[in-house]
Structures are given as C-alpha cells and as structure tokens.
Amino acid sequence: MPIDATQAYDDDNLFAKILRGEIPSTKVYDDEWAYAFEDINPQAATHWLVIPKGRYVSWDDFSATASAEEIAGFVRAVGEVARKAGFVEPGYRLLANVGGHGGQEVPHLHVHVFAGEPLGPMIARR
C-alpha cells in the first residue's frame, strides 16, 4: 500500500527492523551510511535495495534534512554497490519511489537497484 512521503518516521517499519536485525535479510553491502540487501520479491534478475542507516521516510525527507555527509555517504554507497557487483557495464537501473503517486510502500528511503538483464522501458509508454 503506497504511503504518504510527508508522514513522520515510523521506527517499526520493515526496513528499520531489518537495520536492527529483527528481520533477516541477505546482505550485499554494509558501511557507515548504508545497508544493501536482496529484495524478497525480485522484479529483475538482480533486485537489491539500498537504504540509509538514518531515519528518513523518503528521498524528499532525506534531501531536505540529512547532513551533507550523510547524503554524500549514501549516494557513494549506492554507486559502490553497483560497481562492486559489476553492474556498470552492461548497465543497471536505480529507482526511488516517493509517496503514494510514486508507489512507495515502505516509509524508509530506499533505492532499488535492478540489473542482470535488459530492463526495457522504465514506465509503460502512452
């Protein structure tokens, strides 16, 4: 169910529980700023999620309230995940849903990393 990107951070959201180790995940990357893991319902040959370790609801919340150091650390972590996995060539897709119209379902900022096969158009053509 899509969420409101302006809502207050909920410490009981799924990704907060993963960060605390209350829910298991298959880790693919971990550093001071970010944690990456395999999506349990993959939409591509490779489908990973990268989440910041801070309490941010959405990209909007993160870009407006995170420190410059947190932003730089998270963005670098997303790039590092893709480089270390060898996704740069032949290519990959990043996606961050924001709010209800954007299809965001978990109220913790997360970036989807899709790779491992040709992905086709990002959205249906009209």
Q: Is 47 a catalytic residue?
A: no
Residue partners of 33: CB distance under 8 A and separation at least 6: 52, 53, 70, 73, 74, 76, 77
Strand (E) positions, the chain? Answer: 27-30, 34-38, 46-52, 93-95, 111-115
Catalytic residue among 47, 101, 108, 110: 110
Measured CA distances, 75 to 6, 51, 122 (Å): 21, 10, 21
Residues annotated as part of the active site:
110
